[in-house]
């Protein structure tokens, strides 16, 4: 069974999002060992580019402590997939890797050092989503990928 690490900057405070995350974690557990890691967000004290950059660097240091295996960064400028193509991607990666790490950054993004280490950058949309909601969207699509790959009627 493949191990998937979802490394997220920041925590979830909203109960409805926690409930959705828990539901998808339960569903995914039939197909993969899912480990969700929350690293503390180093929110900048100002909107000055230098403050944001310094905090993104601190976030990157925390993120990289948990990266194992094949690294995929969620990035709005990464490659986009249909749900079926994403399922094929997961299936192919599972054949060649025992562990995959996905990274969801904070509201200010992900430091370039993490992007540079990524084996791949993927985008779920050109739209901007709150990073807390992106976690739910990602987990739903991961579950959808497993149902597609296992011929389970969930994907429409």
Contact 110, 56 (CB under 8 A): yes
pLDDT tens sequence for the chain (156 residues): 999 999 999 999 999 999 999 999 999 999 999 999 999 988 766 777 778 888 899 999 999 999 999 999 999 999 999 999 999 999 999 999 999 999 999 888 899 999 999 999 999 998 888 889 999 999 999 999 999 999 998 756
3-state secondary structure of 106: strand
Whether residue 22 is contained in a domain is answered as yes
pLDDT on residue 106: 86
Q: Return the CATH number at 60.
A: 3.40.1280.10
Whether residue 154 is contained in a domain is answered as no
pLDDT on residue 155: 58
50: part of which helix (H) or strand (E)?
helix 49-64
pLDDT on residue 118: 98
Whether residue 76 is contained in a domain is answered as yes
| d(C-alpha 156, C-alpha 154), whole Å | 6
Domain that holds residue 71: 2-149
The number of distinct structural domains making up the chain is 1
Whether residue 120 is contained in a domain is answered as yes
């Amino acid at each position: 069974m493949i191990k998937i690490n979802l490394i997220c900057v920041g925590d979830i405070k909203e109960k409805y999002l926690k409930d959705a995350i828990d539901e998808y974690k339960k569903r995914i557990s039939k197909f993969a060992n899912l480990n969700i890691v929350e690293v503390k967000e180093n929110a900048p004290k100002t909107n000055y580019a230098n403050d944001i950059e310094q905090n993104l660097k601190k976030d990157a240091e925390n993120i990289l402590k948990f990266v194992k295996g094949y690294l995929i960064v969620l990035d709005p400028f990464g490659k986009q997939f249909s749900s079926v193509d994403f399922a094929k991607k997961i299936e192919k990666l599972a054949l060649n890797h025992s562990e995959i790490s996905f990274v969801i950054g904070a509201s200010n993004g992900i430091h370039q050092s993490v992007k540079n280490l990524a084996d791949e950058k993927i985008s779920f949309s050109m739209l901007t989503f709150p990073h807390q909601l992106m976690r739910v969207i990602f987990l739903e699509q991961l579950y959808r990928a497993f149902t597609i790959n296992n011929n389970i009627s969930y994907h429409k």
